[in-house]
Amino acid sequence: MASKTKTKTGTVKWFNEIKGNGFITQDDGGPELFVRHTDVHVVGGGLGRGVLREGDTVSFEVVQTARGPAAVSVTIRKKH
């Protein structure tokens, strides 16, 4: 079971639209976080096939998964 932490902020390092995943660099210097398109809030509400761009600033929660930390509930704060 994944455990969530408080909301954090960071910057999209890269995101592959075709595969629907990428990585986020945390502002607090924590480890890079894997992110899936299904964990990105879509404009208009809800989660869906959200698309991130390199350099977007985002807020998110961190969960621990079997493969390491990941970002969930990702919201774009400022598009790059």
CATH code, 40 = 2.40.50.140
Given a cut of 80, whether residue 5 has pLDDT beyond it is no
Answer whether residue 2 is part of any domain: no
User: Which tokens hold the place of 71?
Assistant: 């970002």
E strands present in 1-80 = 8-16, 21-26, 33-36, 40-41, 47-48, 57-65, 68-78
The total domain count for the chain is 1
| Radius of gyration for the alpha carbons in the chain, expressed in angstroms and rounded | 11
Answer whether residue 27 is part of any domain: yes
DSSP state of 37: G
Given a cut of 90, whether residue 71 has pLDDT beyond it is yes
Q: Give the structural domain span for 53.
A: 8-78
Answer whether residue 3 is part of any domain: no
Residue 50, pLDDT score: 79
What's the distance, CA 6 to chain centroid? Answer: 14
Q: For 15-67, write each residue's pLDDT tens digit.
A: 999 999 999 999 999 999 999 999 998 766 655 567 899 999 999 999 999 99
